[in-house]
Amino acid sequence: MGTYTLTASDGSLTGTTSSSFVINGIAAQLAFLVQPTSPSVNSRIAPAVVVEVEDSAGNRVANDASTVTISLASGPGTLSGTTTAIAVNGTASFSS
């Protein structure tokens, strides 16, 4: 896990270094990428709440397609609309 670069060399030619790239670990945790706002009753939360699937180091697991569910952890009432979403490229969006 982490960020890496590669180098290529020959000894007589000018070498080169690649762009950096990230190697992700396995999905280990979820994090809110876009936090919920305070909408009016019976209205959508805008912008959409976005949850990120991360490895144990906090890097997005871009190839992850977990099914993510959100729910109220505290407060009165119920959460309606879309409460389950499949992660695309490591993020799950809840827009309704």
Cβ neighbours of residue 92 under 8 Å, at least 6 residues apart?
Answer: 50, 51, 53, 66, 68, 85, 86
Q: Note the pLDDT tens digit of each residue in 34-49.
A: 999 888 787 888 899 9
Q: What is the residue extent of each domain of the chain?
A: 25-96
Instruction: Report the 10 Å Cβ neighbour count for 35.
Output: 9
Amino acid, res. 14 = T
Q: What is the pLDDT of residue 28?
A: 95
pTM for the full predicted model? 0.75
Measured CA to CA, the distance from residue 75 to residue 25 in angstroms comes to 35
Taking the C-alpha atoms of 34, 38, 42 and 45 in order, what is their torsion angle to the nearest 10 degrees? -20
Q: Note the pLDDT tens digit of each residue in 1-33.
A: 678 999 999 999 999 999 998 787 899 999 999
Q: Note the pLDDT tens digit of each residue in 36-90.
A: 988 878 788 889 999 999 998 898 998 899 999 999 999 888 888 889 999 999 9
Q: What is the largest CA-CA distance in the chain?
A: 71
